[in-house]
Amino acid sequence: MERNKLQRVFKAVWPRALAIGILLGLWQLLVVVGFSSPAGEPLPGPGDTWSEIVYLIQTGVLIPALLMTLERAAIGYGVALAFGTIVGLAVARIPVLRAGVGSLLAGLQSLPSVVWVPIAVIFLSLGGNVEFAVYFVVLMGAFPSIAMGVMSAYDNIPPLTFSLARSMGASGPKYYRHFIFSASLPGYVAGMKQAWAFSWRSLMAAELIIGSVASGGLGPILDDGRSLGDIPEMLAAMVTILVVGIAVNDIIFAPLERGLLRRRGLVPA
């Protein structure tokens, strides 16, 4: 029994472990062949970067910055989720809004959120506080994905589900709760997952451009590394950013989506 469980974990983990191993190997290979910048700075290897991460943790730099960034991500994403859900539902249900706003949302989604940074800084840095500007950029980056997810989820509800709801006489909150929300959940979660990627990217762009060391966060560490020519610090920040992006997806969204699909018989158990 115990052995079976171990085998299962191994079976699930090995492809990913292998992929990471290959990636690290290629990186190390670049270091071994002496890849360097035009200015002659050598590329730090995985080992150097790891040491730098440990150093940044020990000096009390990385963890507070990480927490700061995660807090911004959580707040920004939360606002985008609420706003995107409302906008998506409204656009899906109201034909005039769909005609007017539907294509605009798709356009917004393809707009790199970094273009919102300058205007956000000018109009939303209230009292020198950049937080609102950062949230705004995250919101603009993430909410279109949520709204589009809600729209497509709504559009993909089988027409029979509506007939069923009507034949049962469901209306108001019960209509939404028992039929519409539940039926659109997989599409909604897919949108949430995509929106997370967008919000994480937007947040990094915003932090990198707006952020100063004083405002905290991972972006400023990366920027700090660049301005000081501290390449291991840059790489340490990059790896952290990458790992967080993957971890949030793996720990929160992937299991949520898998569970949903499995219960509905859309993937093998």
Kindly list the residues in this chain that would bind other proteins in the complex (CB under 8 A). Answer: 158, 160-161, 163-164, 166-170, 174, 178-179, 182-183, 185, 260, 263-266
Least Cβ distance, residue 62 to other proteins (angstroms): 41
Least Cβ distance, residue 163 to other proteins (angstroms): 6
Closest residue by Cα to residue 149 from 95, 197, 111, 100? 197
Least Cβ distance, residue 265 to other proteins (angstroms): 2
Nearer to other proteins, 24 or 170 (CB): 170
Nearer to other proteins, 51 or 161 (CB): 161
Least Cβ distance, residue 171 to other proteins (angstroms): 9
Task: Return all residues near 202 (Cβ < 8 A) that are at least 6 apart.
Answer: 76, 113, 114, 137, 138, 140, 141, 142
Q: What is the dihedral of CA 175, 151, 196, 87, to 10 degrees?
A: -80
How many angstroms separate the CA atoms of 143 and 184, rounded? 17
Angle at Cα 264 formed by Cα 16 and Cα 152, nearest 5°?
85
How many angstroms separate the CA atoms of 86 and 151, rounded? 10
Nearer to other proteins, 16 or 263 (CB): 263
Least Cβ distance, residue 60 to other proteins (angstroms): 46
Three-state SS at 60:
coil
Nearer to other proteins, 165 or 241 (CB): 165
Nearer to other proteins, 179 or 198 (CB): 179
How many angstroms separate the CA atoms of 198 and 9, rounded? 30
What is the b/e burial string over 128-165, where b = at least 16 CB atoms within 10 angstroms of the residue's CB?
eebbebbbbbbbbbbbbbbbbbbbbbbeebeeeeeeeb
CB 36 within 8 A of CB 43: yes
Nearer to other proteins, 124 or 165 (CB): 165
Least Cβ distance, residue 167 to other proteins (angstroms): 4
Least Cβ distance, residue 237 to other proteins (angstroms): 41
Distance of CA 233 to the CA centre of its chain: 23
Nearer to other proteins, 164 or 243 (CB): 164
How many angstroms separate the CA atoms of 34 and 43, rounded? 8
